[in-house]
Amino acid sequence: MHHLSSAAPTPLTEVSTSFELKAIAPQSSGRAGFALTHALPPLAWQLAFFVGPLLFLLVLTFWSVHNFRLEPAFEMGNWKRMLTQQHVWDTYLRTVMGAAVSTVLATVLAFPAAFAIAFRLSENARRACLFLLVVPFFTSYLVRVYSWQVFLSDEGLINSLLTMTGFETRRLLNTDLATQIGYLTLSLPLVVLIQAMSLLLIDSKLIEAARNLGCGPMRVVFAVIVPAARVGITVAALFCFIFSFGDFVSPLYLGGGSSPTLSILIVDTTKAGQQWPRAAVLALLMISTLMAVAWVMTAFAYRKKT
Amino acid sequence: MNSSLVQLVDVSKTYAGAAAVHNLNLEIAHGEFVAIMGPSGCGKTTALRMLAGLETPTSGTIRIDGVDVSGRASWQRNTPMVWQSLALFPFLSVAGNVEFGLRMRGVPKAQRQRRVRDWLSRLGLDGFADRSVEELSGGQRQRVALARSLVTEPPVLLLDEPLSALDHHLSLKMQGELNRLQRELGIAFVYVTHSHSEAFAMADRVVIMAKGSVEQCGAPMDVFNRPDSRFVAEFLGNNNIFRANVVAADEVKVQLHTENGEFTSAPLISGPPKVGSSLDLVVRADRISLTTKAGWATNEVACTLVSEEFIGSTINGHLEMAGGKHIVVQLNARDLEEIDLQVGRQFYASWHPEDCHLVASR
Amino acid sequence: MTRKISGVILHAYLALVLLFLFAPIGASLVFSFNSDRFPTLPLGSFTLDWYAAVFSDERVLEALVNTLIVSTASATLATALGFGAAYTDYRYQFSGKRLYLALGLLPPTVPAIILGLAMLAYLSRLGLSGSRLSIVIAHTVICTPFAMALVRLRLSQIDASLEQAAWNLGASQWAALRYVILPFTASTLCGAWLLTMAVSFDEFAIAWFVGGLSETLPVRVLGFLQGQVSPRINAIGTLVFGVTTALVVVAQLILTRRLSLRRAEERSTNLNTPFSS
């Protein structure tokens, strides 16, 4: 163990003066400036370009279009027109149903995979799997949807295989099934990821306790694991609903677009019809539905156990 | 002109309505080693952080060398702190850590390197300049933290429980080295700790805090011999406290009535107390003698041995008096030659009037 | 059912899910080199014609340039703004903080089509629509949350006393930021930059709405989808997928490598037990 050397210390007086405390500058403004430089720009940006446009959407619903020009106004015409048309409600219901089916499908199909990742893989395999799942979440939804056409079209891979093995060809593309496959391609990575994360967070003692009490494996899953991961499962399902509800690519390019969804309607109304106020009404209908669904689902997720 | 280096004048710090520090008044002289102790939540760390400039006082003034620094940010004072977790920068080498303060103040490179080398050498870390912080042992990291704080040659060094995480042996060694270092350098040390032994071993002056203010301060010997409140007496441990009523009092002695007997004590420093007033009588455990026969000293209580603790060179005996109250007596090895400690045996615990004192009941 | 059998079934299922997610890309890759116009079995001959066609298509090249400019700009802005928001969350307490954080983290939960319409109307009213700038503005909004979350996570791993020690030793807030916080978050900032670039690179709906005549690559792909079936889509799709995957993979490697490095740091600088020699 070292001892302090007994070398003569540098005389302190020589150096103290070189560290005269700097002249006082107004402290609070200097420190406030630092804080605001970090805090304000993101806030300003999101207010200007996220909140602003969404609020404007609301305002837009009251405007009118004359001779292809947008004019500020305050009239209920757009609301009346869009909300009284039968086909709008048909489309709306179709979209809700499609998203709901997709949510249930994704949640159920994802669970065994998430279970496998959380409980049946080694540490390394698990990391590799999660790594692999992050990739499709961030890449090329469009390309993957198009590629499903490769599989599902009448001359596509699946039908080719069927003919090669002597079966009849089936119409796979332009069906609701194809749309659902598209929704799955969109949401499944995220749903599996979120479910897997929340399963990984379950206290293993809980599961051990259940086993010790004599629960069979299936019972452990449904009575202990699923409830414990309820929040994660519900959040994943909510994201899935949001994605499916808002997507137009799958219903258009895989579903055929003949039975349009709300999102397709918005695209048409905006791009083809140039009727932005009417499209805005549909968009608000979409937003309010999503908010209601989100509220219900988070209330369900976070409710206290009875 | 006041010769004190650091002055805290009526300093308070409140968080959301609760006062962490309340009207704190403290002065620290040049070159003084001050230890601040107290139970958790007493405000000692908050006080230290205010000195360092990491917290701003809600009210009151802090002066260093006569300059009011209360409003100044930490980087505008020269009050470096040795952190409990050491807070060494993991991405810098030892030299990089030590020169940090100089670099921030714009000292040119050649000078910095020289100073760093000097200090590393002085702290026994020759040749460690280019090592990575992660490779070092605990004791070595302590020294790097010290060097880093001292390289800017501050008038006062702040230390926040720097030895609390070390094992006993290393802690004792570091205590000796810190002491030596402080004497050599002649700068003031403000040392926050919860360990009595550290504080008493190293400090010129001890400050005991409770609930945000100073309870008592003074030289270690004085505080230890004469705690001036029930709180401090209890905090220091090894004190017996009796609630007492004054029966008679004059300049020389005070007669007291307690539920365990009539006792005589030395008078209060401020003069004879009023007859009938309630006070606390404090008797240190090592000032009490145990005898098998009565009559050894003026103050005496009959008691029964309930348990004993062997603490090395001393033994603490816990005895029960009539009425159920317990008394602690500290005996050393020599005393034990004459007394046979057996649980259940009857003894007389006795002490002289000058070996106890009175404090105000609070 | 024994654990072993259920294990095998679960492993197989997982493989199936991964196959489901990656097979379309695989098929696209294969058929991008296939000489047949229609993707059927059996395969035709190997050809690079479709790639050549893609690279010689002027609109594709223009779209590629636009995408590179837009994603780089959006990633840079988003990373900077995300850092600011994350640092604010890390360091300061203030009333309304929850609202502040919500604003920063909400955008990914709003469907792209709604954001697209809203921004189209809003920006064109401001005269800012129909250009690369519009896309950059919009993409920054949706990318900032990712950067913010990543940086915030990294900041929570710093020992809080490090920044304070820097101040205490004479570093102003800016200096402490530069000499303590930035070294710590440097690799996370890199990873966030790459990841947000991938997000922007791949985003098609908003870009389609607000970009007007300035097409990004995904918007061009959308154009192809609306046109005739052509294996060129396979080629361009594979390329786009390749680029964004490379970005995401590199980002992940940077970000997770930091995680294990950090565990090593933690072990040795964990000064609750400094007597570690």
| Domain count of the fold of chain A | 1
Measure in Å the smallest separation between the Cα of C210 and chain A Cα atoms.
Answer: 11
Mean pLDDT of B60-68: 90
Do B86 and C271 count as a contact with CB atoms less than 8 A apart?
yes
Do B72 and A16 count as a contact with CB atoms less than 8 A apart?
no
| Domain count of the fold of chain B | 2
Do A110 and C17 count as a contact with CB atoms less than 8 A apart?
yes
Q: How far apart are CA C62 and CA A132, in angstroms?
A: 31
Task: Identify the contact set of chain B against chain C, taking CB-CB distances under 8 A.
Answer: 52-54, 73-75, 78-81, 83-91, 100-101, 104-105, 133-142, 148-149, 152, 165-167, 170
Measure in Å the smallest separation between the Cα of A131 and chain B Cα atoms.
Answer: 28
Instruction: Give B16's pLDDT tier (boundaries 50, 70, 90).
Output: confident
Q: How far apart are CA A26 and CA A248, in angstroms?
A: 56
Q: Is the peptide bond before C42 cis (omega within 30 degrees of 0)?
A: yes
Q: How far apart are CA C8 and CA A116, in angstroms?
A: 10
Q: Looking at chain C, which residue has its C-alpha nearest residue A162? A: C41
Partners of B71 on chain A (C-beta within 8 Å) are: 24, 27
Mean pLDDT of C161-173: 93
The answer on pLDDT for C267 being more than 60 is no
Residue C189 token pair: 């900032």
pLDDT score of C206: 92
pLDDT score of C263: 53
pLDDT score of B268: 77
Instruction: Give C266's pLDDT tier (boundaries 50, 70, 90).
Output: low
Residues B254 and B216 in one domain: no
pLDDT score of B18: 84
- pTM metric for this prediction: 0.84
The answer on pLDDT for B66 being more than 60 is yes
- Contacting subunits of A (3+ beta carbon pairs below 8 A): B, C
Mean pLDDT of A34-63: 92
- Is A215 part of a structural domain of the chain? yes
Instruction: Give C66's pLDDT tier (boundaries 50, 70, 90).
Output: very high
Identify residue C72 by its one-letter amino acid code.
Answer: T
pLDDT score of A141: 86
Any A CB within 8 A of B76 CB: yes
Q: Which of A195, A220, A196, A222 shows the shortest CA–CA distance to A208?
A: A220
pLDDT score of C172: 92
C92 φ/ψ sector (left φ>0, alpha ψ -120 to 50, else beta): beta
B218 φ/ψ sector (left φ>0, alpha ψ -120 to 50, else beta): left
pLDDT score of A24: 33
pLDDT higher at A147 or A105:
A105
pLDDT score of A10: 41
Contact at 8 Å (CB) between C243 and C202? no
Q: Of B225, B240, B273, which residue sits at a domain end?
A: B225
CATH architecture of C58-260: Orthogonal Bundle (1.10)
CB nearest to C161's CB, from B83, B142, B148:
B83
Q: How far apart are CA A111 and CA C14, in angstroms?
A: 10
Reported as a single tens digit per residue, the pLDDT across B161-198 is: 988 878 888 888 889 989 999 999 999 999 999 888 88
Q: List phi, psi (to 5°) of A42.
A: -60, -40
CB nearest to C165's CB, from B53, B87, B142:
B87
The answer on pLDDT for C96 being more than 80 is yes
Among C158, C167, C169, the residue to mutate for chain B (most B Cβ within 10 A): C169
Reported as a single tens digit per residue, the pLDDT across B207-225 is: 999 888 898 999 999 998 8
Q: How far apart are CA A90 and CA C275, in angstroms?
A: 72
Taking all residues of chain B, what is their mean pLDDT, rounded to a whole number? 88
Reported as a single tens digit per residue, the pLDDT across A185-225 is: 999 999 999 999 889 888 878 888 887 887 777 777 788 88
Residues B325 and B206 in one domain: no
Q: Which of A137, A118, A132 shows the shortest CA–CA distance to A196?
A: A118
Least confidently predicted of A260-274, C79-93, C175-189:
A260-274
Q: Looking at chain A, which residue has its C-alpha nearest residue C126? A: A53
Measure in Å the smallest separation between the Cα of B77 and chain A Cα atoms.
Answer: 6
Partners of A21 on chain B (C-beta within 8 Å) are: 67, 69, 72, 76-78
The answer on pLDDT for B252 being more than 90 is no
Contact at 8 Å (CB) between B213 and B196? no
Q: How far apart are CA B116 and CA B26, in angstroms?
A: 33
Q: Edge-to-edge strands of the sheet including B261-265?
A: B261-265, B254-258, B239-249, B278-284, B356-360
pLDDT score of C150: 92
The answer on pLDDT for C141 being more than 60 is yes
Q: How far apart are CA B59 and CA B43, in angstroms?
A: 15
pLDDT score of B1: 42
Residue C156: half-sphere exposure toward Cβ, Cα within 13 Å: 8
Do A1 and B139 count as a contact with CB atoms less than 8 A apart?
yes
DSSP state of B81: E
pLDDT higher at A123 or A7:
A123
Instruction: Give C44's pLDDT tier (boundaries 50, 70, 90).
Output: confident
Q: What is the sign, positive or negative, of the torsion defined by CA atoms of B265, B271, B277, B281?
A: negative
Q: Please list the alpha-helical segments (H only) found in A47-83.
A: 52-60, 77-83
Q: SS3 letters for B14-41?
A: EECCEEEEEEEEEEEECCCEEEEECCCC
Q: Angle C232-269/C182-202 helices, nearest 10 degrees?
A: 160
Widest Cα–Cα separation across chain A: 99
Q: Which domain holds residue B211?
A: 4-225
CB nearest to A19's CB, from B78, B123, B124:
B78
Distant-in-sequence, close-in-space partners of B285: CB < 8 Å, separation ≥ 6: B238, B239, B240, B316, B328, B329, B330
The answer on pLDDT for B51 being more than 80 is yes
Contact at 8 Å (CB) between C156 and B91? no
Do A31 and C138 count as a contact with CB atoms less than 8 A apart?
no
Measure in Å the smallest separation between the Cα of A135 and chain C Cα atoms.
Answer: 6
pLDDT score of A49: 94
Q: Looking at chain C, which residue has its C-alpha nearest residue B107? A: C170
Q: Looking at chain C, which residue has its C-alpha nearest residue A122? A: C11
The answer on pLDDT for C110 being more than 50 is yes
Q: Terminal CA-to-CA distance of chain A, rounded, Å?
A: 62
Residues B341 and B355 in one domain: yes
Residues B326 and B342 in one domain: yes
Instruction: Give C228's pLDDT tier (boundaries 50, 70, 90).
Output: low
Residues B267 and B123 in one domain: no
Residue A257: which CATH number? 1.10.3720.10
Do C274 and B141 count as a contact with CB atoms less than 8 A apart?
yes
Quickly count helices (H) and strands (E) in chain C: 12, 0
Mean pLDDT is highest, among A250-264, A268-282, B23-37, C37-51, for: B23-37
Reported as a single tens digit per residue, the pLDDT across B109-132 is: 999 999 999 999 988 888 888 889
Q: Looking at chain B, which residue has its C-alpha nearest residue C161? A: B87
Contact at 8 Å (CB) between A246 and A263? yes
Q: B290 has which bridge partners?
A: B349
Contact at 8 Å (CB) between C121 and A276? yes
Residues B148 and B36 in one domain: yes
Q: Which domain holds residue A96?
A: 86-302
Residues B234 and B174 in one domain: no
